[in-house]
Amino acid sequence: MRLNQIAIVVEDADATVAFYEGLFGLPRVGGTVFHGKVTERVQALPDPRLIAHWLMDDREYFQLELFQYESPRSRSFARGRRPWDIGYSRVALEVNDPVAVHALCARRCVAGLSPIAPIRGQPHFSLLDPNGVLLEVCPASQPVPARVGARFAGVALSVPSLDLALRSFCDAADCPLLSDTPPDKGVLWREPPARKRGVLLDAGSAWLEITEYAEPAPLPWPEGYRICDYGIMNVAFGFREAAELRSAWARMQRGGFRPHGELASSAGQVVVGYMDDPQAFNVELLMVRPWLDGVMGFRRESRADKLVKSVLMALA
């Protein structure tokens, strides 16, 4: 399994794109409008209409997807949660020089900026994006090329039950265990004395950090929470062959994931579906043929890509 997308529901798309481009050098490579019956079936939301913006780091077939909903109306989520409350809790980015990026954040008065703290001897810090999403910044495991300023390193989840999450993400989603003693980064967001246990999973292109908190006691999902509410929506696992996606889809169903509906296919060239694990974490499975990468935001779109995209969206 290879994580190939992180999706965030945003309050102001222009401000969010400018934030990730200006602070982290992550270019916007395309975008589109999703609506209609296919989108409704995939997301299980009534009459959805949303504007998507796609940003990339230096890797093929990996993107940050920003959604701004026109319908249904999004509600607050990220701004009301603490890092240990239930839900997708933070996104990690790695940079070549965390100290220099921290200084840039300070000059720009970025919200929620923490002091630099050593984690296993390496400089880390945290901040908030324009939507209240908690970001962790850490040193790059491999040099980030000059054409971008950062690379997505991982996504963290705070879960009610670590054992159940392991059955979902380690067993059913086939993300192998990297460590059952991940580094404690709570100092970055001034976490009070905590009793918790966590794991680090290998999601191919990034890690998943899953933590169960006993203290401080986490708040559950907010009443009436929907994936269109502001904050981290989900992660996606990417495939290049429909048969591989369908095999993972079936395995994850057997492991307890509940599909929103049948898989949606565009002439077998794009296949997509959303699923919820037993603890209500939403996950997307996505297959895109390489010739459509520019249409679906996995490389900068060309004029030809825009034409193909207009046809595909009309058919949807």
Dist. CA 217–CA 223, nearest whole Å: 17
DSSP code, position 189: G
The pLDDT of residue 309: 82
Q: How confident is the model at residue 316 (pLDDT cuts 50, 70, 90)?
A: low
- Inter-CA distances, 303 with 126, 290, 306, 311, Å: 38, 17, 5, 13
Dist. CA 77–CA 31, nearest whole Å: 24
Q: How confident is the model at residue 311 (pLDDT cuts 50, 70, 90)?
A: confident
The structure tokens 């990996």 sit at 62
Tokens of 221: 């999902």
The maximal CA–CA distance of the chain, rounded, in angstroms, is 55
Tokens of 138: 């850490």
Let me know the angle formed at the C-alpha of 24 by 99 and 206, rounded to the nearest 5 degrees: 90
pLDDT in tens, 156-186: 999 999 999 999 999 999 999 999 999 999 9
Residue 70 burial (CB count, 10 A):
12
pLDDT in tens, 107-154: 999 999 999 999 999 999 999 999 999 999 999 999 999 999 999 999
Contacts of 92 (CB under 8 A, 6+ apart): 135, 136, 137, 138, 152, 153, 154, 155, 156, 207
Per-chain mean pLDDT for the chain: 97
Report the predicted TM-score, pTM, of the whole model to 2 decimal places: 0.96
Q: What is the mean pLDDT of residues 35-59?
A: 97
Of 107, 92, 106, whose CA–CA distance to 115 is shortest? 106
The pLDDT of residue 267: 87
* % residues pLDDT > 90 (the chain): 95
The pLDDT of residue 315: 67
Q: 58-62, 80-84, 253-257, 305-309 — which is least confidently predicted?
A: 305-309
The pLDDT of residue 287: 98
Of 243, 231, 254, 228, whose CA–CA distance to 287 is shortest? 243
Dist. CA 314–CA 316, nearest whole Å: 5
Of 80, 313, 60, whose CA–CA distance to 204 is shortest? 60
- Inter-CA distances, 315 with 36, 69, 311, Å: 10, 21, 6
Residue 312 predicted with pLDDT over 80: no
* % residues pLDDT > 70 (the chain): 99
Q: What is the mean pLDDT of residues 72-93?
A: 97
Burial 246-266 (b: 16+ CB within 10 A, else e): bebbeebeebbbebbeebbeb
DSSP 116-150: PEEETTEEEEEEE-TTS-EEEEEE-SSPPPTT-S-
Dist. CA 127–CA 110, nearest whole Å: 7
